[in-house]
Chain A
Amino acid sequence: MDKRFEEKLFKVLMLASLAAVLGSLFMVIAVIIWNGAPALTFSMITQTPKGGYYMGKEGGILNAIVGSLYLAFGSMILALIISLPAALSLQKDYIGKTKAAYYIRLSLDVLWGTPSIVYGAFGFIVMLYLGMRASLLGGIIVLTFLQLPIMIRSMEEVIKMVPSELKEASYTLGATRFETTTGVVVRQALPGIVTAVLLAFGRGIGDAASILFTAGYTDSLPHSILDPVASLPLAVFFQLGTPFPEVQARAYASALILLLIVLALSITSRALSKRFMKNIIR
């Protein structure tokens, strides 16, 4: 093959591939907006399902929106409490260079790859063992597990980038490792930490398979942490499964709400990290 022709051919193929990839992103967003927007009404986001909602009668999915926010915030906070210290301990000032840290990273990577349905099944076993039923707490715990590897590994990536000169300057002034970690490392890495937290939050709010058996589903708003709770992804799934076109249209609208939340998260994360970036010493 002529090498100039080959060069051109592959350039065209590459551009076509990239166009297909980006095109599928726009197609997904466009199809969801196109089908979801007509069914998206004000009452959908302000009301809980009324009698006969799943046959096309009055109501909305406020229960699922509130439920998803509870689940995602609860699990995000729990996961942050465990992830930040865990990620900080993987600095080379602590155990970062040891063999143990290597295995911790490896097992976190495996955990990251574990499908959410496996988390769901595991969560269900644990809840049976503890005698719990499907509840907000159950959902939060499973989503926490799901988010742990995402948060720890992404935080560690940014914590690793903090220049060691900065830490050394802090040590020279007599600060302890802990003081250096909170005063210098966390501040330096803040934009990345925020991004990692929002990334995990997005994963938590969108996941359905893990909370299918652990969070349950209900038409009312949760009153206690031990009540079952509805969630947006499952609202999409259940409404789509009904044979009524009106209800299916609401599933599209629910998917649109979920998509908008995820898009908003992505934009927020970008804006926040840009903002915190200003306080960083390079």
Chain B
Amino acid sequence: MQIRRFKDVLAGRFMLAAAFFSSILVFIIAIALYLRSKPILEAKSLGDLLLGSTWMPFQGEFGFYPFILGTLYVTALAMVFAVPLSILSAIYLAEYAHENARARILPMIDLLAGIPPVVYGVWGVLAVVPLISDIAPVIGKLGIPFLSMESYSTGYSLLAGSIVLAIMVFPIIISISEQVLRAVPFEVREASLSLGATRWQTIKHAVMRIAYPGIAAAVILGFSRAFGETMAVLMVVGNVPIVPSSIFDSAYPLPALIANNYGEMMSIPLYDSALLLAALILMLVILFFTLAARLILVRIERRMTNG
């Protein structure tokens, strides 16, 4: 009897310790990154670092502006493609699709989430980049703002990066939105349909109104996934440290900056500190977005369980 009690207590302690360790990891990472990026934060003002546009580590110039804008542009453009397609797909799966069809399609969506980033990168290099290299000169001549192109395009561009990213965030937005939509009580639909609304009107006016925060959370989670994605983007985006003015221009997002330069920067003063600051910026931005999305989802879950 004693031994059984002892085992129970011991196992309980161990389980708690494991949970505690896993949960403080995020703080350990943030603190470690902060401590290592402190030298550059002390040497330069944060404003100069974030808004400076010269990146010359050998001269001690560390301006993150082109990289931050590169990340924002590629992510935003990816969301332009991904959000409407994902939400419409999720609505179809949750509201229209037959049970059997849904059971077959959802695993495929999960599969999309399971494909490794480098495989998407290779696909981008093989399929997207050549296509853009072909169409960019044609569209570039039309003189549409943000779609212009001055000369020959390699295809390694903002557009290529965002197409690859869009496909990578499909599964995140679709699976969360689908769950959120299916959690909307059935009575809501019945009430609307009984008033003579069509199915789409019901979805638009009744279901979406309730599901809206959850779908927003899904979009935010997709955004933060795209924001930090490294390898797939790095392989197709061109990596030129300029502020892109057209979707056919190359860009250089923050994660790609870290991946391309880390490991070889030890001899240059402040270089490693600057790259770790980039990692810290990425982490804090994503932390903020993830927290916001999760808080929304937790509230929805509570409402569901409390009735």
Of B23, B201, B275, chain A has the most CB atoms within 10 Å of the CB of B23
CA distance A121 to B200 in the complex (A): 47
* Min C-beta distance of A123 to chain B, whole Å: 9
* Min C-beta distance of B178 to chain A, whole Å: 11
Q: Which of B18, B27, B114, B121 contacts A89 (CB 8 A)?
A: B18
A179 with B26: CB separation less than 8 A: no
List B208-263 residues whose CB lies under 8 Å from chain A: 221, 224-225, 227-231, 235, 255, 258-259, 262-263
A115 with B255: CB separation less than 8 A: yes
B92 with A208: CB separation less than 8 A: no
Binary interface encoding of chain B residues 107-140 relative to chain A, with 1 for a CB under 8 A from any of its CBs, else 0: 1111110111111111101110000000000000
B279 with A208: CB separation less than 8 A: no
CA distance A145 to B29 in the complex (A): 10
B108 with A22: CB separation less than 8 A: yes
CA distance A120 to B260 in the complex (A): 12
A240 touches B (CB below 8 Å):
yes
What residues of chain B lie closer than 8 Å to A115, measured between beta carbons? 227-230, 255, 282-283, 286
* Min C-beta distance of B123 to chain A, whole Å: 5
List A185-202 residues whose CB lies under 8 Å from chain B: 199, 202
What residues of chain B lie closer than 8 Å to A113, measured between beta carbons? 221, 224-225, 228, 286-287, 289-290
Q: Which residue of B lies closest to A181 (CB)?
A: B11
* Min C-beta distance of B190 to chain A, whole Å: 18
Binds B, one of A39-47, A55-63, A219-227, A254-262: A254-262
B262 with A259: CB separation less than 8 A: no
Q: Which residue of A lies closest to B85 (CB)?
A: A17
Q: Which residue of B lies closest to A255 (CB)?
A: B122
B22 with A148: CB separation less than 8 A: yes
A183 touches B (CB below 8 Å):
no
What residues of chain B lie closer than 8 Å to A104, measured between beta carbons? 19-20, 22-23
A70 touches B (CB below 8 Å):
no
A280 touches B (CB below 8 Å):
no
CA distance A179 to B25 in the complex (A): 29
B231 with A17: CB separation less than 8 A: no
B43 touches A (CB below 8 Å):
no
A169 touches B (CB below 8 Å):
no
A114 touches B (CB below 8 Å):
yes
Q: Which residue of A lies closest to B203 (CB)?
A: A10
What residues of chain A lie closer than 8 Å to B298, measured between beta carbons? 102, 106
A25 with B111: CB separation less than 8 A: yes
B32 with A122: CB separation less than 8 A: yes
Q: Which of A35, A90, A148 contacts B126 (CB 8 A)?
A: A35
Q: Which residue of B lies closest to A202 (CB)?
A: B114
Main secondary structure, interface of A, reads helix
CA distance A35 to B123 in the complex (A): 10
B270 touches A (CB below 8 Å):
no
Q: Which of B36, B86, B224 contacts A125 (CB 8 A)?
A: B36
CA distance A258 to B26 in the complex (A): 29
List A1-47 residues whose CB lies under 8 Å from chain B: 3-4, 6-7, 10-11, 13-18, 20-22, 24-25, 27-28, 31-32, 35
What residues of chain B lie closer than 8 Å to A237, measured between beta carbons? 118, 121, 231, 235
What residues of chain A lie closer than 8 Å to B96, measured between beta carbons? 11, 14
B303 touches A (CB below 8 Å):
no
Binary interface encoding of chain A residues 74-101 relative to chain B, with 1 for a CB under 8 A from any of its CBs, else 0: 0000000011011111100011000001
A109 with B290: CB separation less than 8 A: yes
**9 smallest A-B Cβ distances: which pairs?**
A206-B116, A115-B228, A89-B15, A17-B88, A113-B290, A14-B92, A209-B230, A86-B18, A176-B8
Write 21 A-B pairs (CB below 8 A) sorted by A numbering: A7-B199, A17-B85, A17-B88, A27-B123, A85-B11, A88-B15, A90-B19, A104-B19, A104-B23, A107-B27, A115-B229, A118-B29, A122-B32, A176-B4, A178-B7, A199-B114, A206-B119, A208-B117, A240-B121, A251-B122, A266-B114
Interface residues of B (CB under 8 A from A): 4-5, 7-8, 11-12, 14-27, 29, 32-33, 36, 84-86, 88-89, 91-93, 96, 105, 107-112, 114-123, 125-127, 167, 170, 174, 198-201, 221, 224-225, 227-231, 235, 255, 258-259, 262-263, 275-276, 279, 282-283, 286-287, 289-291, 294, 298
